[in-house]
Amino acid sequence: MLTNQLEAFSIPAYIFLFIVLWICVCQLISTAGGWRRLSLDYRAAAPFDGKKLWFKSAGMRYWTNYNNCLIVGANPYGLYLAVLPIFRVGHPPLFISWAEISTEAGSRRFFGDFVKFKFARQPDVPVLLSKKLAARILRMKAAHHLGFGVSPE
């Protein structure tokens, strides 16, 4: 009888433990990578108005990577970054004005070419995007300026 009571208790306990662990890990990644610092200055104040690209990847500081879990957007006013809702704890959506962004190209031996996005108010928290994704974002920005839609490629 005691065994049945322990088994009944253990399932909710494991679910609770999993949720607590999930929240802690998401918060830790946000802090280590710098998302938390970026959100202090660049938290999105309104829903994003523009085309979004889902399941994209980026790197941040201290070898923090967001692989296939980002939503990236661009419009004439700025860059939008968000994580998928299941990972959103500690990661509020960001919107960064183009005036606040500078870019520089880079290359890593095993990881290929990338573009480093640096932000005026948080210069020590870069976002590294693949060269292909960065080019697509800049095309989206330009296409919106011209009033055209953005091609899928």
Residue 120 is assigned to a structural domain of this protein: yes
Residue 28 is assigned to a structural domain of this protein: no
Residue 59 three-state SS: strand
Residue 77 three-state SS: coil
The owner of tokens 């790197």 is: 59
User: Residue 10: left if φ>0, alpha if ψ -120 to 50, beta else—which one?
Assistant: alpha
Q: Residues 25, 29, 32, 34: is their CA dihedral positive or negative?
A: negative
Residue 90 is assigned to a structural domain of this protein: yes
Residue 91 is assigned to a structural domain of this protein: yes
The owner of tokens 């049945």 is: 4
Rounded Cα gap, residues 70 and 64, in angstroms: 13
- What is the domain count for the chain? 1
Q: At 64, which CATH number?
A: 2.30.29
Residue 55 is assigned to a structural domain of this protein: yes
Mean pLDDT of the chain: 86
Q: What is the mean pLDDT of residues 74-98?
A: 93
Q: What is the mean pLDDT of residues 130-147?
A: 80
Residue 3 is assigned to a structural domain of this protein: no
Under the banding of pLDDT at 50, 70 and 90, the label for residue 153 is very low
Question: Helix, strand, coil proportions of the chain in percent (round to 5)?
Answer: 40, 35, 25
Residue 52 is assigned to a structural domain of this protein: yes
Residue 97: give the domain boundaries.
33-146
Residue 27 is assigned to a structural domain of this protein: no
Q: What is the mean pLDDT of residues 106-115?
A: 74
